[in-house]
Amino acid sequence: MSLNRRYALGGVFVLAGVTTAVLLASVIGTVFFAVTVAYLLWPVRQQLVSRGLSRRLASAGATAGAFAMTVLIFVPLGVVAYLRFDTFVALLGLLPETLELAAFGFEYAVTLDSLTELLTAIVERAARRAAASAPVLIVKATLFVFLVYSLLFYGEDAQRAAIALVPSGYRDAAMSLNRRARETLFAIYVLQAATAVGTFLLALPVFSALGYDSVVTLSTVAAVLQFVPIVGPSVLLAGLAAYHVAVGELIRAALVFLVGGFVIALLPDVLIRPRLARETADLPGSLYFVGFFGGALTLGPIGIVAGPLAVGLFVESAALLSSELNHAEHPPAGIVDDGESPVSDDPDATEAGDRS
């Protein structure tokens, strides 16, 4: 195949990919997450194949394992809601019949009945939206599972097609970007789980010091909420603070909102994410921090992965460019630039150049 024909087919491939992305914009987030998860599961699939499983069984096993882990993340919320429902109802019963609020010289009286009606309307509205979007969510979940399985099953074909589009002189750079992408994705998903564990451990002493009875339950909810973009455990702390304000415990409300917000909601993101990002993905903590929050605020849930991944690839491309420029300005000793092919007096250097 001629070089021009190869590049022409590559251009058609890119154009078809862009057109497909535009036409499937409603599910582009699902496709993106599926690609990143399949990228991360590729070593697992390869390990299963090396142990004697067929390509089909290895792909199905890796997909099933990832799906089970995703479901297990949110199981604690359901368990807590089921086991602590009576406790929640009892706490609502402790609220005063009338809540008086004073601010800027104005006084407001909120009755428990009106507050209950407002909360009921919000819950009903959310339930209707959830019911209306349930079929779409089911379709997206099914699409996600099939995409991950298909990408794992046809992984070799996709790799060969991607490498074939890269000129031979640039394949070392492509492999470096591939390595950086895999390390960054691994760091993103592992960091999310590590941050949740760290949140649980930090929340235990805080809730215990504030005098709560259900310390393990509240810490579990805070840890699971770390997987919710942007808001995270803050929504739990705000709810607890609002409850304490309603029953007249203003000092306790301020403590749980300020101290809990700093230790439980902020500290894990400041301490755990940057440190582990530097160790697992060789990415500066400040850059990961910017990528994580910048991506989440710009793109929503998809930005949690897309932001740090874009930063990681940018750092790797900058390193490749810097290495190339330094090599061009300061060639290795023994290489003579005479306008023709480089000549080296060092046989080891010549051999290394031949291998490259």
- Residue spans per domain, the chain: 167-328
List C-alpha distances in Å: 125 to 77, 80, 122, 129, 131: 21, 23, 5, 6, 10
DSSP string, 302-339: GHHHHHHHHHHHHHHHHHHHHHHHHHHHSPPTT-B-SS
**How many helices (H) and strands (E) would you count in the chain?**
14, 2
Q: Tens-of-pLDDT digits for all 356 residues of the chain?
A: 566 776 777 778 778 878 877 877 777 788 888 888 888 888 888 888 888 888 889 888 888 888 887 777 667 666 666 666 666 656 555 556 666 655 555 666 666 666 667 667 776 777 777 677 778 778 888 888 888 888 888 877 777 777 776 777 777 888 888 888 887 887 777 777 888 888 889 889 988 888 887 788 888 888 888 877 667 788 888 888 887 877 777 888 888 888 888 888 888 877 777 777 666 666 776 777 788 778 878 887 788 788 888 888 888 888 888 887 777 666 555 544 444 444 444 444 444 444 43
pLDDT in tens, 23-68: 777 777 888 888 888 888 888 888 888 888 888 898 888 888 888 8
* CA 347 to mean position of chain CA atoms: 48
CA-closest candidate to residue 140, choices 26, 287, 6: 26
Tokens of 184: 């960054």
- Under DSSP, the state recorded for 281 is S
Q: Which residue, chain included where needed, has tokens 């504030």?
A: 210
